[in-house]
Amino acid sequence: MFRKSIPIFILTFSLLTGCVPIEEQAQSSSSGQQTQLRYEDYIYNESIKSVQFYKATGIPEEVLEPAVTSLQQGQPLVLEFDRLKAGPQRLVAKLIHCNYNWTPSNLNETQYLNDFNEFFITDVQNSVNTRVPYVHYRLRLPKVKMSGNYVLEVREEGGNLLLTRRMMVYQNLTTVTAKLGLPAGPSGRHTRQPVEFNVFYKDYELVNPAMEVKAVLRQNHRWDNAKFIPAPTFVRDHLKRLEYVFFEPKDNFLGLAEYRPFDTRSVRYNGIGVSDVNVQANPIEVFLQIDKNRATEVYSQEPDINGKMLFNNREYGNGDVNSDYTWVDFELKAAEETTGEIYLLGALTDWKITTDARMKYNPESQAYNGRLLLKQGYYNYQYVLQQNQTIDYSYYEGSHFETENTYDILIYYRPPGSRADLLIGYEEILFNRRR
């Protein structure tokens, strides 16, 4: 049985989109697709879905690893994605070396690659017995010769740009140590997570580190809210140490709350966060349990995967090609419409504020409603408010010092006479780790 009280807006949306085949929706949406290369994680064609870029560690949940590896590259980086309603095509990938701020460096391709910069994706599989046909692509990245930032672009052979993804390759030329910082003052003591770190360069000469060393601090491997730090707080040259200390609450990340989960790995029963499933619909419709505002609630310890996603099919396994695509319907209770726009956010939206992820308010049910076409799997998500181009991550989620989050630190340096920023140090810290 599926949810009886379907909001009017969802019925209208279904009538408007349900009579248009998915492939036609993708073609009409992507007819004016962007062809200008962006040096960021971006999808240029709406037929591309379920992108994962990670370090292959050999563990079952390796897809949760960030696209960061050492220059030795004993653990390669792997890109996986689907293309809906399309036959197998020859797709080609290319790597572009970038500076710390994601502008292209002045290096020649031969300086950072051993091979010709054109990598055809040959690991291609069709989906098996799915209502929504797709092709699954997988690419193991070649080794590079230099550390730093890279953008991986994927195109049709001689044709359209499909997606770009960021990756990082580091050298352990310095030692990065991180620790819990001092409480962030009365305004942030209970909501923010202070992280401080030092960079030791005893065995590596840094010339003018106050100007040439840059740092980036990320929360849960995200780029949408990463902090770019142009200079260390203190340079202790006699100790060969750079110190990064943050005195203002705004310089520290909000802890936020543990992410909201749902599980669609089976459509034969209701998984975590699922209220109803309509298997008669094509594609299948999954209705999630009604969400509520958590901003005023105390911290609740719930296991999560920090906003990411895992694909699988509990009945048939091999989620790469056996997991189907379903409509997933979200509902957030709100007594009245909020000034601004409400969006879904997480890996399920590619960490982007997108039109597809915008929630619409239904005054009759006093709730916001939204819908996304997603591959069967286990997902995390949150709701954010956008007002005047400013995003409020805590408006519906709240923020707590106790929340479990992962932080990673990237240290960049441009040696004298060099034409690019190198990634000379990397460290990860688990804040409030419980596993």
**pLDDT at 19 > cutoff 70:** no
Check residue 432 and give its pLDDT: 87
Average pLDDT over residues 270-288: 97
Average pLDDT over residues 266-279: 97
Check residue 35 and give its pLDDT: 75
Check residue 435 and give its pLDDT: 65
The CA-atom distances, in angstroms, between 291 and each of 286, 306, 392 are: 15, 18, 18
Q: For 217-244, how does the pLDDT look when each residue is reduced to its tens digit (9 = 90+)? A: 999 999 999 999 999 999 999 999 999 9
Among 196, 302, 303, 188, CA closest to 255: 188
**pLDDT at 363 > cutoff 70:** yes
Beta strand 195-200 with 175-180 is antiparallel
Count the alpha carbons within 13 Å of 344 in the hemisphere toward its beta carbon. 29
Mean pLDDT (the chain) is 91
How far is it, in rounded angstroms, from Cα 379 to Cα 381?
7
Its CATH architecture, for the domain 260-392, is Sandwich (2.60)
How far is it, in rounded angstroms, from Cα 20 to Cα 372?
16
**pLDDT at 434 > cutoff 80:** no
Q: Residue type for 82, please?
A: D
Q: Using only the alpha carbons of the chain, give its radius of gyration.
A: 23
Residue 185: pLDDT band by 50, 70, 90 thresholds?
low
166 compared with 23, residue with greater pLDDT: 166
Residue 158: pLDDT band by 50, 70, 90 thresholds?
confident
Residue 433: pLDDT band by 50, 70, 90 thresholds?
confident
**pLDDT at 7 > cutoff 70:** no
Q: Residue type for 170, please?
A: Y
Beta bridge mates, 387: 390
**pLDDT at 383 > cutoff 90:** yes
The answer to whether 151 touches 101, Cβ cutoff 8 Å, is no
Check residue 172 and give its pLDDT: 94
For tokens 């991180």, what's the residue? 178
Q: What is the CATH number of domain 33-170?
A: 2.60.40.10
Q: What is the CATH number of domain 175-255+402-431?
A: 2.60.40
For residue 40, give both structure tokens: 């960021």
Helix (H) / strand (E) element for 22: namely helix 22-30
Task: Say which DSSP state 248 is in.
Answer: S
- What are the helix (H) ranges across 196-245? 209-212
Check residue 21 and give its pLDDT: 40
Count the alpha carbons within 13 Å of 420 in the hemisphere toward its beta carbon. 22
**pLDDT at 23 > cutoff 90:** no
Check residue 12 and give its pLDDT: 39
Average pLDDT over residues 146-156: 97
The answer to whether 258 touches 432, Cβ cutoff 8 Å, is no
Task: Give this prediction's pTM.
Answer: 0.90
- What are the helix (H) ranges across 176-318? 185-188, 209-212
Residue 88: pLDDT band by 50, 70, 90 thresholds?
confident
**pLDDT at 15 > cutoff 90:** no
The answer to whether the 33-170 and 175-255+402-431 domains have the same CATH topology is yes
**Domain range list for the chain:** 33-170, 175-255+402-431, 260-392
Task: Say which DSSP state 358 is in.
Answer: B
318 compared with 93, residue with greater pLDDT: 93
Q: For 352-362, how does the pLDDT look when each residue is reduced to its tens digit (9 = 90+)? A: 999 999 999 99
Residue 34: pLDDT band by 50, 70, 90 thresholds?
low
Beta-sheet strand order (sheet of 234-236): 175-180, 195-200, 241-244, 234-236
How far is it, in rounded angstroms, from Cα 239 to Cα 202?
8
